[in-house]
Chains A and B, each alone.
Chain A
Amino acid sequence: IAGITQAPTSQILAAGRRMTLRCTQDMRHNAMYWYRQDLGLGLRLIHYSNTAGTTGKGEVPDGYSVSRANTDDFPLTLASAVPSQTSVYFCASSVGAGAGHDEQFFGPGTRLTVL
């Protein structure tokens, strides 16, 4: 059982380019999340999806978009990357979105550098 996989592991990207970070889980979890981790700031929620077909904005959604076409996949897209989006990105999932299902499982992360 892989849990959550993310691709790529790391990427260097020119500013203005489009980039999609991939996230796949095999636990059949309903809810999925994207976070960014920056030094001294902890993790901040970018977007979330409570169930396939629905998405919502988190704390820092600007410049990012997501889709949730099925249960397993939750890609994060940067339409036009900017240097401030240099960060480590973590995908996570939980059994559900409500009470009693709040433990989140994390992927290994994608380290993105925008030049």
Chain B
Amino acid sequence: AQSVTQLDSHVSVSEGTPVLLRCNYSSSYSPSLFWYVQHPNKGLQLLLKYTSAATLVKGINGFEAEFKKSETSFHLTKPSAHMSDAAEYFCVVSVDIYGNNRLAFGKGNQVVVIP
């Protein structure tokens, strides 16, 4: 079965410094991988998606993630944090099993941006 591990449930960064959120996955199949962001009291919004094309994926709001199969990782980065980046971030793996796609969510990273 597929699963996702997100370390560091709470991450604090200073405004203007880099953001790194780590994600490792396990899957018996060739997965699609996603990062979603959830701002307070809001639904989840897709940041970016990997689907076996380019291993470096660029998303919205300056975020990007690199797929490394040898490390089973899909870490999310942003060069310079903005106050509006304060949110919860979920790494998600999708596996197509007999025509049914299923998402497995990590437990999330709560990001706090310090002015």
- Range of interface residues on chain B? 20 to 34
- Could you say which of A42, A100, A102, A105 has the most chain B C-beta atoms within 10 Å of its C-beta? A102
Contact B99 A98 (CB under 8 A): yes
Expressed in whole angstroms, the Cα–Cα distance for A91 and B103 within the complex equals 13
Q: Which of A66-100 contact B (CB under 8 A)?
A: 90, 92, 94, 97-100
Q: Which 5 A-B pairs have the closest CB atoms?
A: A42-B105, A102-B101, A99-B96, A106-B43, A102-B94
| Interface of chain B residues 33 through 83 with chain A (CB within 8 A) | 34, 36, 41-46, 49, 51
Pair B107/A40 contact, Cβ less than 8 Å: yes
| Residues 45-59 of chain A, each 1 if its beta carbon lies under 8 Å from chain B, else 0 | 100101000001000
Whole-angstrom distance between the Cβ of B66 and the nearest chain A Cβ: 19
The 0/1 profile, CB within 8 Å of B marked 1, for residues 35-46 of chain A is 000001111110
CB atoms of B43 and A107 under 8 A apart? yes
> When A and B form their complex, what is the total count of cross-chain residue pairs whose Cβ atoms lie within 8 Å?
57
Query: Quick one: given A41-B107, A42-B107, A43-B90, are A97 and B101 in contact (CB under 8 Å)?
Result: yes
A residues apposed to B, CB below 8 Å: 4, 31, 40-45, 48, 50, 56, 90, 92, 94, 97-109
Which chain A residue has the least Cβ–Cβ distance from B95? A102
Residues of A within 8 A of B45 (CB): 106
Chain A proximity mask over B72-115: 1 for CB below 8 Å, otherwise 0: 00000000000000000010001010011111011110000000
